[in-house]
Amino acid sequence: MESLDVLIVGGGPAGSTCAAQLRAAGFDVAVMDKQRFPRDKVCAGWVTLAVLDELGLDADEYRRGGRTMEPIHGFYTGSIDGPGVVNDYGETVSYGIRRCEFDHYLLERSGARRIEEEPLRTLERTGERWVVNDRISTPLVIGAGGHFCPVARHLGAKVGNVRGAVAAQEVEFELTTSQRDAAAVEPGIPELYFCRDLKGYGWALIKGGVLNIGLGRDDRHRLSEHLNHFVAFLKRRGRIPPDIPERFHGHAYLLYGQHQPRRVVADGALLVGDAAGLAYPRSGEGIRPAVESALLAAEIIVAAGGCYDYADLVGYEHALEERFGRRSGAGEGSQWLPDPLQAFLAERLLASRWFSRHLVLDRWFLHRHQPALATCRT
């Protein structure tokens, strides 16, 4: 039986960030994932400056490994079938990344032991320890496996079509020369297009030589129909090439405060990132909440001094609420106008440079009003 101080299930940004913090504090940590890294990960893929600060990540150093980190200095915002506007900040406010590279980099940098291509099959509580897959013994298990995380399931999470769950479909592919010539999307200026009912939005962005296109909604009904309409709209406008891949890939995640909150703490266990349901309610971004939850969890774990009963870990739940707000029904929701006015006013507001910059971009997508989390770093 292999013995560990901590087993983290899931090797994404939440899992690797938590692993790095705990490794720096002297813990014997392993990260288990059902896939081998680098692996493909469905995600639009951009990170704010706050994320880089919280991770202590230098953009130039990151690029030296041949990885993509596209400076983003502006955004186009509008509505599908309607007008829009470009807000150019004149400076880098975010970076476009590829999750296959980004996640692999963070996992390698964490220094944690890696148990790859092994799903969590069994999780049994014996005294004050867990026995995982009948071969690993640990006092603490951290669920970092996204919306469908098996640790979250073990703690009672429902992963079906629950209120607050966003369904998204997207595709990411390398552009040929002819495709690049046929696409009007500009590097450094992602394009965001909101659905007329404001229950979701689509996007198109170029990062390096790669184009990412997708659409997500907090209403799964007719998602493929909405996606097809959006793609046809982009082609009609000449924003993307006509010959893109036909197969889009789907994923799901929970918006913070828009659902019955998941149980994030139990005796000897806690959840971080999308496993805990932390995506920002307006933008659906999950990377920054994932990183911040991992940093908060690591602080609580280190302070617990090896005692991991619920009472020793519940401070993590309080820390999440202090950072992100109340968990139960506290989110702002996706409807920010009364129903009868949405379709009429949405196009006009989204095409307003002031409204798009100061509310949609600065607050909903970039969270410029919220400083980076000050916590321990590796």
Whether 209 maps to a domain, the answer reads no
Q: How many domains does the chain have?
A: 1
Question: What radius of gyration, in Å, describes the C-alpha atoms of the chain?
Answer: 21
Residue 248: CB atoms within 10 Å: 19
Asked whether the beta carbons of 132 and 122 are under 8 A apart, the reply is: yes
Whether 272 maps to a domain, the answer reads yes
Whether 282 maps to a domain, the answer reads yes
Domain that holds residue 263: 2-50+92-161+256-324
List, for residues 81-134, the tens digit of each pLDDT value.
999 999 999 999 999 999 999 999 999 999 999 999 999 999 999 999 999 999
| Residue whose C-alpha is closest to residue 179's, from 101, 247, 242, 136 | 242
Whether 334 maps to a domain, the answer reads no
Neighbour order of strands in the sheet with 249-254:
84-88, 74-79, 191-194, 200-207, 210-217, 165-174, 249-254
Per-residue pLDDT of the chain (378 residues; tens, 9 = 90+): 899 999 999 999 999 999 999 999 999 999 999 999 999 988 889 999 999 999 999 999 999 989 999 999 999 999 999 999 999 999 999 999 999 999 999 999 999 999 999 999 999 999 999 999 999 999 999 999 999 999 999 999 987 666 668 899 999 999 999 999 999 999 999 999 999 888 899 999 999 999 999 999 987 778 999 999 999 999 999 999 999 999 999 988 898 987 788 999 999 999 999 999 999 988 999 999 999 999 999 999 999 999 999 999 999 999 999 999 987 654 444 444 445 455 567 778 888 999 999 999 999 999 999 999 976 444
Whether 131 maps to a domain, the answer reads yes
Whether 241 maps to a domain, the answer reads no
State the CATH number of the domain containing residue 150. Answer: 3.50.50.60
What are the Cα distances from residue 319, in Å, to 71, 236, 256, 355? 32, 47, 14, 31
**What span, in angstroms and rounded, lies between the C-alpha atoms of 43 and 249?**
10
Whether 237 maps to a domain, the answer reads no
Whether 340 maps to a domain, the answer reads no
